[in-house]
């Protein structure tokens, strides 16, 4: 059975690689001509429009006769992205989604009765839940103010700057207002700060103090009550003890410092960033472990485990920090040095088809492209070229190949595929796996390409 699965994985991976390399000899210049800039913007809008009408994948949950809880993750066409079983003791009721976003997307009412789901989703649930004990519950898959959706909002805010369409800003404003411009629940947790990136982007446009109030109140409280734990991952995540956190929270701290002029936020961010880096950055490999549990782990080929999206989180967070970090800040050059090390290492590991695999040092372990990490890498490296930190002749081909691979991963209807689902380590992807944070990474990459083209 394992041998059959391994053969199937290789066949699918070979098919994808051959399909996306078909036009490799006819090299397109993506960034030099006006029509190319138009094409980048159109691709961004197509992916964003799909996501507006599919706010998140659907989730269904039910109990089996044996007492297990089944969780089914589906696309709107009924395709199953993931199916999992949990012990009954870990039962979780799917979360809802605020009505304003749903109304804007024009999809359905806020309470997801089975009969209100798309017909193909209903068919999949009916097929998969035969023998269910009790009710089948349905919802969108992600918290509206969680990191999965907040990363999308960061990308959509970047798109709103470039697009003449008002729908993206309108979607974000209605969403923020429905949440009273508040961060999510956990006081210290970086994931619950991520939505602040979108809030502060909108605050810069309007200077509406209501948008800023909760972020500033939360961070002022943290400054007065700094977390006391060490960085071991087994502890609470009150500190940034996993690499994803370096995207979720630090850009909010630096942007808040920029819009208020209060450098206390910079000092906190700076101290925590380098504490995390000292804890999980490998100075020989120039890559970040996802968290300290991975320092001793090895891939099947014997190499260390460095997760593609994990390092994507870091380089994307790093450039967003640098965007708001004052030129005269005492440790700025330390961030620039780290950025160059990361960008050079990431570029050196790019596959020929342009898209990185889930595992950076053992691409054969999951030989599928992964578009969320690749989108962040494209974004981060393009930023460095535009800022003059990376040499254009060396790194522009990296960006062009990455963007071409990302474009080929977008279906004609606008859905971005090959996104690894939520996790903490390399996992498989396929053409039907998508998630809002992957679209957020795609939009950030496209926004940087537009700036680079100018």
304-316 per-position pLDDT tens digit: 999 999 999 999 9
Catalytic status, residue 244: yes
Q: What is the mean pLDDT of residues 190-213?
A: 97
d(CA 349, CA 269): 29
| C-beta of residue 160 within 8 angstroms of C-beta of residue 169 | yes
Mean pLDDT of 370-390: 98
Q: Are 416 and 47 in contact (CB under 8 A)?
A: yes
Residue 414 φ/ψ, nearest 5 degrees:
105, -5
Of 95-99, 251-255, 431-435, the poorest mean pLDDT is in 95-99
* % of the chain with per-residue pLDDT over 70: 86
Residue 81, both tokens: 């992205």
Residue 449 has pLDDT above 60, yes or no: yes
Q: Is the pLDDT of residue 10 over 90?
A: no
Strands 58-63 and 133-140, how do they pair? antiparallel
pLDDT tier for residue 191 given thresholds of 50, 70 and 90: very high
Structure tokens that stand for 200 in this block:
């502060």
Number of H helices, E strands in the chain: 16, 6
Residue among 370, 381, 424, 366 nearest 5 (CA)? 366
User: Looking at per-residue confidence, does 394 or 87 come out higher?
Assistant: 394
Specify the pLDDT at position 108.
32
Higher pLDDT, 35 or 382: 382
Q: Which of 47-61, 260-274, 328-342 has the lowest mean pLDDT?
A: 47-61
Whether 51 and 413 have beta carbons less than 8 Å apart is answered as: no
pLDDT at residue 15, as a whole number:
30
Q: Is the pLDDT of residue 102 over 80?
A: no
- Length of the chain, in residues: 454
Q: CA-CA distance, 395 to 412, in Å (whole number)?
A: 29
What pLDDT is stored for residue 79 in this prediction? 87
The answer on pLDDT for 386 being more than 50 is yes
User: Which pLDDT band holds residue 7 (cuts at 50, 70, 90)?
Assistant: very low
**pLDDT surpassing 90 at residue 143:** no
Confidence at residue 362, expressed as pLDDT on a 0 to 100 scale: 98
Mean pLDDT of the region 370-386: 98
Predicted confidence at residue 17, as pLDDT, reads 42
pLDDT at 375: 98
Find the mean pLDDT for residues 136-161. Answer: 90
Residue, of 8 and 237, whose pLDDT is higher = 237
Checking if the pLDDT of 67 tops 80, the result is: yes
Q: Classify residue 139 as exposed, middle or buried by CB count within 10 Å of its CB (0-12, 13-18, 19+).
A: middle
- Bridge partners for 272 per DSSP: none
Q: Which residues contact residue 42 at a Cβ distance below 8 angstroms, ignoring those fewer than 6 apart?
A: none
Q: Mean pLDDT of all residues in the chain?
A: 87
The pLDDT of residue 115 = 75
Least confident of 98-107, 130-139, 211-220, 235-244: 98-107
Mean pLDDT of 153-181: 92
Q: Comparing 169-173, 255-259, 437-441, which segment has the lowest mean pLDDT?
A: 169-173
Structure tokens at 310: 């994990």
Say whether pLDDT at 399 is over 80.
yes
Q: At 343, is the secondary structure helix, strand, or coil?
A: helix
Range of 51-55, 136-140, 274-278 with top mean pLDDT: 274-278
The pLDDT of residue 92 is above 60: no
Identify the pLDDT of residue 167.
86
Cβ neighbours of residue 264 under 8 Å, at least 6 residues apart? 223, 257
Q: Shortest CA distance to 378 belongs to which of 344, 410, 406?
A: 406
Give the CATH number of domain 29-56+143-453: 1.50.10.10
Q: How confident is the model at residue 326 (pLDDT cuts 50, 70, 90)?
A: very high
- Out of 244, 270, 362, 427, pick the active-site residue: 244
Q: Is the pLDDT of residue 34 over 70?
A: no
How does residue 116 score in pLDDT terms, banded at 50, 70 and 90?
low
Does residue 404 or residue 28 have the better pLDDT? Answer: 404
Per-residue confidence band for 106, with pLDDT thresholds at 50, 70 and 90: very low
Task: List the chain domain ranges.
Answer: 29-56+143-453, 58-141
pLDDT band at 134 (very low <50, low <70, confident <90, very high): confident
Give me the helix-helix angle, 209-224 and 196-206, nearest 10°: 130
């Amino acid at each position: 059975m394992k041998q059959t699965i391994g053969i199937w994985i290789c066949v699918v991976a070979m098919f994808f690689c051959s399909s996306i390399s078909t036009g490799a000899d006819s090299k397109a210049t993506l960034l030099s001509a006006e029509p190319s800039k138009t094409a980048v913007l159109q691709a961004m809008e197509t992916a964003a429009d799909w996501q507006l009408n599919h706010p998140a994948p659907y989730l269904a949950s039910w109990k089996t006769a044996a007492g297990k809880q089944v969780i089914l993750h589906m696309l709107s066409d009924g395709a199953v992205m993931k199916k999992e079983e949990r012990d009954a003791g870990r039962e979780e009721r799917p979360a809802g989604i605020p009505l304003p976003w749903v109304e804007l997307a024009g999809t359905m009412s806020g309470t997801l009765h089975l009969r209100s789901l798309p017909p193909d989703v209903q068919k999949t649930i009916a097929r998969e839940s035969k023998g269910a004990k009790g009710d089948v519950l349905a919802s969108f898959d992600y918290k509206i103010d969680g990191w999965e959706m907040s990363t999308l909002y960061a990308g959509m805010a970047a798109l709103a700057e470039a697009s003449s369409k008002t729908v993206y800003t309108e979607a974000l404003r209605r969403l923020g207002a429905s949440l009273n411009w508040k961060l999510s629940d956990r006081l210290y947790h970086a994931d619950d700060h991520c939505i602040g990136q979108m809030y502060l982007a909108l605050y810069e446009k309007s200077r509406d103090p209501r948008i800023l109030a909760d972020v500033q109140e939360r961070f002022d409280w943290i400054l007065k009550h700094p977390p006391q734990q060490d960085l071991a991952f087994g502890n609470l995540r009150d500190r940034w003890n996993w690499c994803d956190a370096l995207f979720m929270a630090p850009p909010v701290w630096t942007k808040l410092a920029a819009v208020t002029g209060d450098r206390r936020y910079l000092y906190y961010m700076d101290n925590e960033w380098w504490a995390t880096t000292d804890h999980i950055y490998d100075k020989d490999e120039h890559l970040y472990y996802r968290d300290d549990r991975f320092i001793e782990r090895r891939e099947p080929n014997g190499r260390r485990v460095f997760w593609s999206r994990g390092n994507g989180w870091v380089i994307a967070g790093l450039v967003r920090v640098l965007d708001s970090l004052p030129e005269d800040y005492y440790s700025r050059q330390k961030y620039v040095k780290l950025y160059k090390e990361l960008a050079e290492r990431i570029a050196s590991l790019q596959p020929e088809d342009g898209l990185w695999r889930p595992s950076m040092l053992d691409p054969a372990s999951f030989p599928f492209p992964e578009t969320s990490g690749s989108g962040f890498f494209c974004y981060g490296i393009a930023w460095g070229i535009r800022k003059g930190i990376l040499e254009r002749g060396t790194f522009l081909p990296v960006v062009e190949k990455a963007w071409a691979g990302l474009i080929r991963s977008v279906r004609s209807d606008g859905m971005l595929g090959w996104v690894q689902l939520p996790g903490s380590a390399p996992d498989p992807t396929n053409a039907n796996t998508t998630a809002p944070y992957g679209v957020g990474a795609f939009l950030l990459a496209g926004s940087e390409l537009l700036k680079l083209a100018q």
